Structure 1
Amino acid sequence: MQNNHVAVGVDGSAEGRAAARWAAREAVLRRVSLRLVHAVDWPLDPVLPGVGRQDVDRWADQALTETAEELRRLHPLLEITTRCPQGRPAAALAAEAADASLLVLGSRGLGGLVGFLVGSVALSTVVATDTPVVLVRAADGPDDTAGGGTAAEVVVGVDIREAGDRMLAFAFEEAQRRGCPLRAVHGWKMPPAYAYVPFFDPDNERDIGRSVTRMVDDMLLPWRHKFPDVNATTSVFTGSAGERLVRASRGAGLVVVGRHLRRSPLGVHLGPVAHAVLHHAAAPVAVVAHA
């Protein structure tokens, strides 16, 4: 199957509309079509008395139709299709993502606080698909999503212990499409054993910092050669990578983080950095599975 479209989950909410507007702009940038998806999960015993299957279907059709009409007014040349699959939302959205190049979901903003309220459907969908997933929160203003401007920089969190090729390819491609700079952020910590060294030489920490910076530069080198038009810089520091990425998200157009494909006995684990960024970033967040 060809991954030649962007898919977005819509449900009639402000978060869904914000995600749809972001996804439409992304589809225009990629020069591909847009698919609007509303997953209908019809329970055997309806929670709301008096609400029948026809009411649920009518509401789903209305959400898709109204969103499609709005986006066609904004992007007259964009090809837009709609889908209304049956089943649990996370599973249905993950299935829709299988033949898409990107899946976009909405996430509720934390009121006056900066960040996201990431629901169980969004988290379950992120870990159920290998397709990159972007979470977009509802607009701070009436006309646009929080962050997400195409001219703002792309921020990507890198880990020198991981290959990260899929994540870096995604981040550089996004920066190239937008014609914006890219900033690679990496946080590191001194080995725990250094806490027990009675006479610690600060030069050791500076030497390690320079070595880590060289490793990050080496990690980006092939991508700088592949994308010479992208102005890529690095930000290497000691401390929490998640905290620094959240800080860097203010004013960014997109934050890109990776997640592991490996499963544990407790299920798929996003990792502390991706978890922190998903919940607290001020810009849309793309989660890309490591190979």
Structure 2
Amino acid sequence: MARPYLTPVPGRGAPTGGLPSHRHDQVALGVDARDPADAAIGFAFGTALLKDVRLHAVHAWRLPTCAAELPFGIPEEDRGAWENHEVQLLADTLRPWRARYPEVRVLEDVVLFAPEHALIRRSASAALVVIGQRAGSVARALLRDSSCPVAVVPW
């Protein structure tokens, strides 16, 4: 497995490879359930297991483009159906990893939010945020604005 690039958080010095003791006890994982980065998911599960902390898997999604064309807004049942689909995508993506790492406590979180904003918010209560390297604009935003160390894992 390729080694992730760990970035220091401004004002906190270089990363040590361990989780800071003054942060909350969780690893946040940014997951694109439509194009999952297996190396990042594996790294996040492995880190959560090693540090005995909860894994908070965040899948951010957006409304389909057809929603903007609706003349009277989005019916609640449509929005609910789209969200249920996203929840199922994340569950399906994480199922084999949960089986491989049954000791890891996982919180699956599906949010209707831009990925970079969802993960920056999550970084405020995480010890580490993990994302795949292909998440270019998300990685840049996290490296700039994260409240905790960020691991960018090569695919």
Shorter-chain TM-score: which interval?
A: 0.7 to 0.9
Match of 1:208 among 82, 92, 96: 82
Whole-angstrom distance in 2 between the partners of 1:174 and 1:272: 24
Does the Cα contact within 8 Å between 1:158 and 1:184 map onto a contact in 2? yes
| Equivalent-residue separation in structure 2 for 1:161 and 1:138 (angstroms) | 32
The percent identity for this pair of structures is 32
1:237 alignment partner in structure 2: 111
2:41 aligned with 1:176: no
* Structure 1 Cα separation of the partners of residues 107 and 152 of structure 2: 21
Distance 1:228 1:139 in 2: 36
1:279 alignment partner, one of 140, 144, 148? 144
Matches of residues 1-291 of structure 1 in structure 2 within 5 Å?
131-137=3-9, 139-140=11-12, 148-149=20-21, 152-199=25-72, 200-260=74-134, 271-290=136-155
* Higher RCO, 1 vs 2 (CA within 8 Å, ≥6 residues apart): 2
Q: Take 2:36 and 2:24, find their aligned partners in 1: how far apart are those partners?
A: 28
Q: How many residue pairs are counted as aligned between the two chains? A: 149
Whether the 8 Å CA contact 1:151–1:180 is kept in 2: the answer is: no
1:30 alignment partner in structure 2: none
Unaligned runs of 5+ in 1: 1-100, 102-129, 261-269
The runs of at least 4 aligned residues of structure 1 exceeding 4 Å deviation read: 138-141
Q: Distance in 1 between matches of 2:125 and 2:11?
A: 14
Over alpha carbons, which structure has the higher Rg?
1
Amino acid at match of 2:58: V
Q: Is the 8 A contact 1:188 1:240 kept in 2?
A: yes
Amino acid paired to 2:147: A
Shift of 1:139: 4.9
Task: Please tell me the root mean square deviation across aligned C-alpha atoms, in Å.
Answer: 2.2
